[in-house]
Amino acid sequence: MIPHKTFFDASVEDIAQGYQYDPVEEKYGCLVCGKEFYKDEIYTIQDQLVIGKKAIVLHIEKEHGGMFSQLIELDKKVTGLTDPQKNILQLLHQGYSDKEIVEENPAIGSSSTVRSYRFKLREKEKQAKVFIALMKNAGLAKDFMAIHRTATMVDDRYMITEKEMDKVNKAYFTDEGCLIQWPVKEKKKLIVIKQFADLFETGVIYTEKEINTIIQTKFDDYALIRRYLVSYGFLDRKTDGSEYWKCKE
């Protein structure tokens, strides 16, 4: 699962249900794929005629297999769960008893071990609530570079603030937006590549020649920039390179 860009800005309740409601636009947005359903419109979901809220609930169930299945497949870096913990949670979600879980996973040993896992998971839930409360009270500004949902290499290079981004952009780009030189450090490369990604529109299919032409308006080495745009997940392409497109943020 690659969550939609709205995922990490949603509340815990919204993430659990898989969608967010926009009271201004009166629409529901899927946190998995971004698909929207308007409150008073009627939709056909697998031969059923349903209105807004019911439509997105069915959409998440039918198209994404339910929110639990999406959340449990998130990377360990996101969930903080070990593989055994994920396995126990999946079985509990499926309605298995402690005894049945042991029967499915003899390596666990006994029902008391399962109870221990359950206890630790409940403690983890309490800790998460306190942590969220602490973060809200800390008032930390959301000033770090946003991680696009198709990023392929998420690590410390994303630990850079908007202020630092502005500083790098001013140092490496002219007032007309042309790249002066290719940076050496990976963090700076990422910032520069993001600027080039902004030259392209989502939903448009480009040929390789068109990609090169657009890049070349800002930097001569279009092959280098094109390669990094793809490797960082800003652009995707067909295997033969005949078509390119910007990945959804």
**Amino acid type, 205:** I
CA distance 183 to 170: 13
Residue pair 244/236 in contact (Cβ under 8 Å)? The answer is yes
Helix (H, G, I), strand (E, B) or coil at 66: coil
Which pTM value belongs to this model?
0.57
Percent of the chain with pLDDT over 70: 88
The residue-averaged pLDDT of 115-140 equals: 85
Residues 6+ apart with CB under 8 A from 146: 5
Helix (H) or strand (E) holding 243: none
Q: Phi and psi for 194 in degrees, rounded to 5?
A: -60, -40
Q: Domain segments of the chain: what residues?
A: 7-70, 75-138, 156-246
Provide φ and ψ at 36, rounded to 5°: -115, 145
d(CA 108, CA 90): 15
Taking only the tens place, the pLDDT of each residue in 203-248 is: 899 999 999 999 999 999 999 999 999 888 889 888 888 899 988 6
